[in-house]
Chain A
């Protein structure tokens, strides 16, 4: 297609936008990347695949000028480059959207969109031009514009993500690097983003795309580059490999039946938590939810359709417009009023944004682990560290966690951080565990390890409620799923009805039967 639209010029596909050869980077003893080699041609979307710790993030940081390579070559449009800072990478045309949403929260949306792009000078005319350009790009991405004058802190997480994507596109990149940049977007926004990427690529842009969502990768990429333990281990063209083959290439092992449903389990019809006549948005129809003891219940929906409110209502962190939420314990039925008393009864909530709500960055792994349960290790007013260690050893084994306990948690990969946080709540032996998108930004292998943990928890009688933005995850993990649409309950799927098609149809408010018929 690219060649067809530009027949008179030199075929653009001959000269890659980016060539990386043998990039290597070590941190002390740790060899983060040993052989980073790939190329991206104009018009092409290349997916960089790999588990956490395989060197993807290091690769991205080398390309974006955040790190300088120890060895290796980098060529942009045929010229050798060496980036001393992100500024230099940007001026060479490599624009990166980082995994973390980096915005100046106090600054206006417009300021954030043009941050570091062009002259910082202000004038009426410049301001008008910038507004128009920004509105164009924003509308292309989101379908509607936004008030550019409000501080970014007033935007939703999803809009903040759009903000960083739009900021990158406003730079008219030669090569756009997307590091897990779709994780907060709902399906319709993601599709818009992909369409915009395609359009840009047809005009000669190259894209390097990183995602943990296999369905996204399969939809978008023209070529797949697999990284394993710091080195590129293989490249496949679109159509040359199935997603299972790619997963095999990434992990070096066989992952069977990624989409298979779990064995149906016998679940006693006994309530663990109930929500009666709940209304999440004024004017929507009330509904009832019964969470059964020992089941894994999924909550799903496009972002912002009510699933988040319901999950937090179970934790006492949100009050529905109408209706009552109860926790059924051996001692009787307790109303859920606030988080503190709910936690005390054994209901724990694992937040989505672990960086902000879930962990103390600078503390060690073991401190992060033991935070809420430390009093168990005290006797006669003294803290027995040995007891904490013993508990940690046990719970860490459960979640299959390897690194040392004294390291700072901030240095762990996202997947390992999440393991520590899950282990922390295992330590409190919860009655009900409420998980808010627990595997966001976690690599596939770790995801499956976490699923095993959740399942064994459920086996032992803990009730698991998991909000997930990933269809595959729901299919693979839950016994039953509630899908939300526009603040109301759109579908309840159980057993063999939990299929990708059924869930996605319900995302958009279509009844399951009609969608699959």
Chain B
């Protein structure tokens, strides 16, 4: 059977989010052509990159099953940002070869801790990561009580553009994350994460080291959150202990909007990326239309519910359920 068709049948939410993103993009461009002009494009993209990466950070833990919602992604962005600006840059360690690896390691370490608590501690992911959320939000404030406004040169460079202003450099960060994802797929780690998320007992009795796989899933999420923290630094060009936390819910909403089931075992990375882009485009559309920003959350919620309902309907229609005892 055609593999594209199979991908589609397994992820019936994907065409929906593609359509949503395209429609939103067209409406945005029509109503506000300036958004994609040479002058504005890099800024627009830089604005959306942290949301995209935060959403990508939520993907592997959700895929690994057990209700793997990672609530600590948002605050982790904040902590990475605060450490890069307040601790490294402020003490002369802001150079890219030093600061960026440290930022990524912090992300991986935090993710691994979450994963270890879930896998070895047999705790529920939502409780573990809620703990992580509180600890990290608090830690950001302890490390940097008020925002500090200065950033290293590489952060400014990443905010710029190539090709007479058409190719935003901040996209590099997303490309790096996608390369990591591609590597995971190639090495089979992604397949193992999905297998564990689909039926962990089948994986366990087949000799898969499921606890390691879970730790890996959360660590990859942490790595993406680390990259997202760098993207946040690029965006705000400063250190802010409160900024990261606001990415918590969009990160999860993006995954759901992208058509990945929150029960795990299935899903894509493209869907959530487009989900995150859609959330961003809704926001810009509303501000173009001069709708009060107070309404944004209401609209977010409605779009999300609508998308999930449509997804559920599509899934039911397209994937033939086999009731036990039924015939092929």
Binds B, one of A109-117, A212-220, A489-497: A109-117
A346 adjacent to chain B (CB < 8 Å): no
Residues of B within 8 A of A106 (CB): 10, 194, 197-198, 265-266
B91 adjacent to chain A (CB < 8 Å): no
B248 to chain A, nearest CB (A): 27
* 8 A Cβ contacts from A101-131 to B: 102-108, 111-112, 115-117, 119-123
B319 adjacent to chain A (CB < 8 Å): yes
Main secondary structure of the interface of B (DSSP, over half): loop
Q: Once the chains bind, are A104 and B324 in contact (CB under 8 Å)?
A: no
- For A121, give its contact among B186, B195, B323 (CB under 8 Å): B186
- For B191, give its contact among A64, A122, A157, A357 (CB under 8 Å): A122
B212 to chain A, nearest CB (A): 11
Q: In the docked arrangement, what's the CA distance between A167 and B208, Å?
A: 14
Q: Once the chains bind, are B207 and A351 in contact (CB under 8 Å)?
A: no
Q: Nearest chain-B residue to A66 (Cβ)?
A: B205
Residues of B within 8 A of A353 (CB): 324-325
Q: Once the chains bind, are A154 and B322 in contact (CB under 8 Å)?
A: yes
A395 adjacent to chain B (CB < 8 Å): no
Per-position contact with A for B161-197: 1 when CB-CB < 8 Å, else 0? 0000000000000000000000001111101101101
* Chain A residues touching B, range: 35 or more
Q: Nearest chain-A residue to B63 (Cβ)?
A: A106
Binds B, one of A144-152, A189-197, A332-340: A144-152
| A155 with B1, Cβ < 8 A, contacts A102-B202, A116-B206 known | no
Q: Once the chains bind, are B324 and A120 in contact (CB under 8 Å)?
A: no
Q: Once the chains bind, are A103 and B187 in contact (CB under 8 Å)?
A: no
B7 to chain A, nearest CB (A): 10
- For A437, give its contact among B203, B207, B320, B325 (CB under 8 Å): B325
Q: Once the chains bind, are A107 and B207 in contact (CB under 8 Å)?
A: no
Residues of B within 8 A of A303 (CB): 327
- For A105, give its contact among B187, B265, B326 (CB under 8 Å): B265
Q: Nearest chain-B residue to A355 (Cβ)?
A: B324
Q: Once the chains bind, are B1 and A86 in contact (CB under 8 Å)?
A: no
Residues of B within 8 A of A103 (CB): 199, 202
| A87 with B1, Cβ < 8 A, contacts A104-B195, A153-B322, A352-B324 known | no
- For B207, give its contact among A91, A108, A309 (CB under 8 Å): A91
- For A102, give its contact among B6, B199, B324 (CB under 8 Å): B199
A356 adjacent to chain B (CB < 8 Å): yes
* 8 A Cβ contacts from A338-374 to B: 351-353, 356-357
Q: In the docked arrangement, what's the CA distance between A3 and B157, Å?
A: 76
| A149 with B6, Cβ < 8 A, contacts A87-B209, A120-B187, A121-B188 known | yes
Q: Once the chains bind, are A153 and B321 in contact (CB under 8 Å)?
A: yes
A90 adjacent to chain B (CB < 8 Å): yes
Q: Once the chains bind, are A156 and B186 in contact (CB under 8 Å)?
A: no
Q: Once the chains bind, are A122 and B185 in contact (CB under 8 Å)?
A: yes
A-B contact count (CB 8 A): 120
- For B206, give its contact among A105, A155, A159, A167 (CB under 8 Å): A167
Q: In the docked arrangement, what's the CA distance between A90 and B206, Å?
A: 8
Q: In the docked arrangement, what's the CA distance between A150 and B6, Å?
A: 7
Per-position contact with A for B308-325: 1 when CB-CB < 8 Å, else 0? 000000000001111111
B8 to chain A, nearest CB (A): 12
A436 adjacent to chain B (CB < 8 Å): yes
Q: In the docked arrangement, what's the CA distance between A85 and B201, Å?
A: 12
A239 to chain B, nearest CB (A): 35
* 8 A Cβ contacts from A287-306 to B: 303-304
Q: Once the chains bind, are A157 and B207 in contact (CB under 8 Å)?
A: no
Residues of B within 8 A of A401 (CB): none
A235 adjacent to chain B (CB < 8 Å): no
A499 to chain B, nearest CB (A): 26
Q: Once the chains bind, are B192 and A120 in contact (CB under 8 Å)?
A: yes
Q: Which of A98, A115, A149, A309 is the most central at the interface, judged by chain B CB atoms within 10 Å of its CB?
A: A115
Q: In the docked arrangement, what's the CA distance between A309 and B327, Å?
A: 9
A96 adjacent to chain B (CB < 8 Å): yes
Q: In the docked arrangement, what's the CA distance between A122 and B189, Å?
A: 10
B292 adjacent to chain A (CB < 8 Å): no
B3 adjacent to chain A (CB < 8 Å): yes
Residues of A within 8 A of B325 (CB): 157, 308, 351-353, 436-437
Q: In the docked arrangement, what's the CA distance between A407 and B206, Å?
A: 31
Per-position contact with A for B258-274: 1 when CB-CB < 8 Å, else 0? 00000001100000000
* 8 A Cβ contacts from A192-222 to B: none
Residues of B within 8 A of A155 (CB): 322, 328
Residues of B within 8 A of A119 (CB): 188
Residues of A within 8 A of B154 (CB): none
Q: Once the chains bind, are A151 and B10 in contact (CB under 8 Å)?
A: yes
Q: Once the chains bind, are B326 and A107 in contact (CB under 8 Å)?
A: no
Q: Nearest chain-A residue to B10 (Cβ)?
A: A151
| A86 with B194, Cβ < 8 A, contacts A150-B6, A154-B319, A436-B325 known | no
Q: Once the chains bind, are B327 and A308 in contact (CB under 8 Å)?
A: yes
| A157 with B3, Cβ < 8 A, contacts A90-B206, A116-B207, A122-B186 known | no
Show 17 residue pairs from A and B whose CB-CB distance is below 8 angstroms, ordered by the A residue: A102-B205, A105-B198, A105-B265, A106-B194, A107-B198, A111-B195, A112-B202, A122-B185, A122-B186, A151-B319, A153-B319, A157-B325, A157-B326, A304-B328, A308-B326, A357-B324, A436-B325
Report which A residues bind B (CB closer than 8 A): 64, 66, 85-87, 90-91, 96, 98, 102-108, 111-112, 115-117, 119-123, 147, 149-151, 153-159, 167, 303-304, 308-309, 351-353, 356-357, 436-437
**Beyond A107-B195, A116-B208, A155-B328: 7 further Cβ-contacts under 8 Å?**
A87-B208, A102-B199, A105-B199, A106-B266, A107-B194, A107-B265, A309-B327
Enumerate the 10 nearest inter-chain pairs by beta-carbon distance, A residue then B residue, closest first. Answer: A120-B188, A116-B206, A104-B198, A353-B324, A156-B328, A304-B327, A102-B202, A87-B207, A116-B207, A106-B265
